[in-house]
Chains A and B, each alone.
Chain A
Amino acid sequence: MNGKVYIIGAGATKIGEHWDKSLRDLAVEALFAAVKDASIDKRDVEALYVSNMMSGELQGQEHLGALIATWAGIPGVAACKVEGACACGGVAIHQAYLAVASGLYDCVAVVGVEKMTDVIPSDVTAALATAEDQDYVVFTGTSFVGLNALIYRFYLEKYRVKQEDIARFAVHCHKMAVSNPYAQFRRPVSLEDVMSSPVIADPIRLLECAPVGDGAAALILCNERFLKENPRDDLIEISGTAVATDIVSMHERRDPLAASALRRALDIAMEKAGIETKEIDVLEVHDAFTILGILPLELMGYAPPGEGWRLVAEGQVEPGGKIPTNTMGGLKARGHPVGGTGVYQVLDIVTQLRGKAGSNQVEDAEIGLAQNFGGVASTVAVNILKRVR
């Protein structure tokens, strides 16, 4: 499969508590925005990949492929739901890439969506925990936050880092989100705000967690053949893509901090893209919790183990810094409508590569990399984007 795959359209809804909008409303709104952005006819779309984690639990609704295709007015299209816990967005992009690169389709759409505010908080907590082993892990009464709290404590114990230094990642994300029109929280928070917020599962505090929200984001992917008939000026290539898995339950891993699925997905995707870490201009990390924002910075070599927090404290993760990270607010402040998240990450990179990031613009950004975690990094999707012209 040597066919190149391009992103020619991106669109999204604002993330938030959309009491007046259903899952299908959000998905269709995002899809239409992406189609409009790509300047194509929606009937050009040959296959539709709907990324979503919890519609079965939260809406009692599955079969999102045919449902969204119908409500978008394109029944007949090949369509399916792609699930991989919180990584489903990145996995759906990977699947869409494969479909186009294979030559089977010339133009496909990915729409990632989650509608989380239809139910009470404990039901959202239970639905998020379906990412883990129901018989032997969730059975214990742990929440998904609880499992990440274990990762957090392993880290704090091993490196003797202060929690304040990790928690500062949330402050960074809120600062970045202020100018993002799609963001759930367009307001700054202080480190004191974060550290005085309630404990959800020790040691994780409320403002260290990505919020519950509703939203959808969509992308249009195509190949060279489609481009010949639909030429355009701005063009972004998916130059590398990979999905990897780890032992599903974190407590069984030899080293719970190794993030071996991330390591593997990075190695595969970066080799495919032919790039080294230092060439990445803009990075999206899956900061569902602050600790998950710090760990990848160390794993990718931007800081030694135990010292990733320094990059945040020194502003090196901001535009103009060593590695601009989550420049549109990340999961923490842009928001984390689960099925949408991996697609929003790539959309945020598209915004940067097109030079449309406003006050958060990374100068002359050419290459961006997005990491999307499912479970406690049990599934990891990595997608690498490159501005072509």
Chain B
Amino acid sequence: MVWAESVPRVWRERVKKYRLLGGKCLKCGSVVYPYRPACPYCGHEELQPLELSRRGRVINFTIIRHPPTGFVGKEPYVVAIVELEDGARVLAQLTDVKPEDVKIGLEVEAVFRKYREQASNGVIEYGIKFRPV
């Protein structure tokens, strides 16, 4: 039961995940991903929904060699912190690149990709990954 498989949970997040829907704080100007009701930096409760830039650069990364249940067999794969052009930071997998070729500063763009499958009901979970420009 280490991974709570759920259809409504995937469905509920689809817009934020598929369109990179973030928010811009109307008080401090911070851009966050995903969209949420309160700014994590200043606490302000008005965020303008914002479809984020699909371009950015890798500011840090790791290569997962011992994955959690749900990703076993996919290793090694790269998980990176991508800073988008509008300032939001997104954690995501990199794709279409060999792990050994990834460097900090790599320019990347968002692509729509499969992340994992729910074994119990066949639901496929999609999301944004990033590939070199």
Contacts and interface: CB of A to CB of B under 8 A. Distances in A.
Interface of A: 56-58, 60, 119, 121-123, 125-127, 129-130, 134-143, 145-146, 149-150, 153-154, 157, 198-203, 247, 249, 251-252, 254
A201 B115 CA distance: 19
Interface string B72-108: 1010010101000000011111000000000010000
B23 interface: no
Contacts of A126: 2-3, 68-70
B64 interface: yes
A252 B31 CA distance: 10
B66 A125 contact: yes
Nearest to A137: B91
Contacts of A146: 62, 64, 79
A201 B79 CA distance: 10
B91 A141 contact: no
A380 B88 CA distance: 26
Given A135-B9, A139-B115, A150-B81, A251 B70 contact: no
A125 B67 contact: yes
Contacts of A141: 64, 67-68, 70-71, 74, 77, 79, 93, 115-116
Contacts of A142: 62, 64, 79, 91
Nearest to B104: A157
Contacts of B68: 122, 125-126, 129, 138, 141, 143
- Sorted nearest first, the 3 A-B pairs with minimum C-beta distance are A126-B68, A126-B2, A149-B62
Nearest to A150: B60
Instruction: Find the residue from A60, A138, A251, A254 having the highest chain B CB count within 10 A.
Output: A251
A135 B16 CA distance: 11
B32 interface: yes
A58 B62 CA distance: 26
B82 to A, nearest CB: 9
A250 B115 CA distance: 21
B64 A139 contact: no
Contacts of B79: 140-142, 146
B34 interface: yes
B56 interface: no
B1 interface: yes
B34 A136 contact: yes
B125 interface: yes
Contacts of A137: 91
A134 B68 CA distance: 12
Contacts of B63: 199, 201-202
A140 B62 contact: no
A139 B77 contact: no
B30 to A, nearest CB: 9
Given A119-B2, A134-B4, A141-B67, 4 more contacts: A56-B1, A140-B92, A153-B61, A252-B40
B38 to A, nearest CB: 12
6 contacts: A125-B69, A140-B91, A140-B127, A141-B68, A142-B91, A146-B62
